[in-house]
Amino acid sequence: MASRRAFSPQTIRVLAALCAEPSAWRHGYTLAKQTGLKSGTLYPILVRLADRGLVEASWEDEHVPGRPRRHLYRLTADGRAAAATAAIPQPTAAREGATPRGRRPARLAPRAAVPWTG
């Protein structure tokens, strides 16, 4: 369930980056470049958003030789609602339906509930 707590400016930047293509799976490094956040700031934000059910995380199912599988992120329906509440511009319907890079990542097993502490 989405929290009513106000988002930090950094979290709003992450939500805005994810909101640009809400249904597309995004990599951490791409998000770091788009938001200008360091990994030490970006990932705790992603962890909190995932805990609150605003972001879903998944490992890519396609194994590329020479490098490990990457972790991917996108907004959930709650995340889109939260982004709308935070007055983050929503994308058009055409962009929303796009699936980037033609990959469908494997779904993770449901994560154990971790209490929201942020």
Q: How far is the CB of 98 from another protein (least distance, A)?
A: 21
Question: Whats the size of the chain, residue-wise?
Answer: 118
Q: Supply 31's token pair.
A: 């998000």
Residue 17 CA to chain centroid, in angstroms? 8
Of 57 and 86, the one with the shorter C-beta distance to another protein is 57
Q: How far is the CB of 42 from another protein (least distance, A)?
A: 8
Of 68 and 89, the one with the shorter C-beta distance to another protein is 68
Q: How far is the CB of 111 from another protein (least distance, A)?
A: 6
Q: Rounded CA gap, 87 and 71, in Å?
A: 27
Q: Which positions lie near another protein, rule CB under 8 A?
A: 27-29, 32, 38-44, 46-47, 57, 67-71, 108, 111-112, 114-115, 117
Closest CA to 49 of 22, 11, 4, 81: 11
